[in-house]
Copies of this chain bind each other. A is one copy, B any other.
Amino acid sequence: MEMKERILTSAQRLIQQRGFNGFSYADIAEEVGIRKASLHHHFPTKTDLGLALIEVYSGQLNGALLSISGSSLFADAKLAAYIALYRRSLEADCMCLGGMLASEALTLDPVMLPGLKRFFARNAEWLTEILVEGRLQQLFTLTGNAADHARLLLSALQGALLIARATGDREAFDQTTALLVTDLMKKN
């Protein structure tokens, strides 16, 4: 199981930095120190690797989300912790794996799309919970319903990460996310 995990780790980073169409088995082989052909023993096709990675990444994310929601933090701090996940990705010059695959959606094997869709749904669902919690704690003032705000947060974070990584302007990312939170706390 050791090698399988090393392959997944390597492939995950390659996809988040270069995209599913921007890396090859040769890149992984060099990183993990085995031959290209040997990779096919663990993941027969690139699509198999992609499917596994969507599951792994969704699992990692879910773990992080449960860790945050299970904490004793107030909702605004939980949201800040979620935003910090994106910020750390930016520091590693990585897109969100979901966002990267989303940009390549039309070129992917369609079997990967349901998992990708679930990934975004899970993010939106969790954010909705946090927003409802924050409203109960009177930390957030929501203009619309919580689910709409959740989708807006998700879109804004994905977009801010996309742009900041390409322009190299991390300060813009921080200002954007700061405003995103500020707006939630606005009183009417």
Residues of chain A at the chain B interface (Cβ within 8 Å): 17-19, 21-22, 93, 95, 99-107, 113, 116-117, 120-121, 143-144, 148-149, 151-152, 154-160, 162-163, 165-168, 172, 175-176, 178-180, 182-183, 186-188
The answer to whether A176 and B188 touch across the interface, beta carbons within 8 angstroms, is: no
Which secondary structure dominates chain A's binding surface? helix
Q: Specify which chain B residues have a CB less than 8 angstroms from the CB of A186 in the assembled complex.
A: 143, 183, 186, 188
Name the distance in Å between A142's Cβ and chain B's nearest Cβ.
9
Contact status B163-A19, CB under 8 Å: no
Query: What CA separation (Å) do A120 and B172 show in the bound complex?
Result: 12
- Are A148 and B163 in contact (CB-based, < 8 A)? no
Among residues of B, the one whose C-beta sits closest to the C-beta of A95 is: B103
Complexed CA–CA distance, A149 and B166 (Å): 19
Give Cα A109 to B10, complex, Å. Answer: 23
Query: Which of A100, A106, A152: most chain B Cβ within 10 A?
Result: A152
The docked-state distance in angstroms from the alpha carbon of A175 to that of B145 is: 10
Instruction: Report Cα–Cα, A159/B144, bound state, in Å.
Output: 19
In this complex, what residue of B is CB-closest to A182? B143
Task: Give the CA-CA distance A149 to B107 in the complex, in Å.
Answer: 33
Smallest CB-CB A-B distances: 8 pairs: A159-B159, A155-B159, A102-B166, A158-B159, A155-B160, A103-B103, A105-B166, A156-B156
Q: Is A22 a contact partner of B107 (Cβ separation < 8 A)?
A: yes
Residues A104 and B162 in contact, CB atoms below 8 Å apart: no
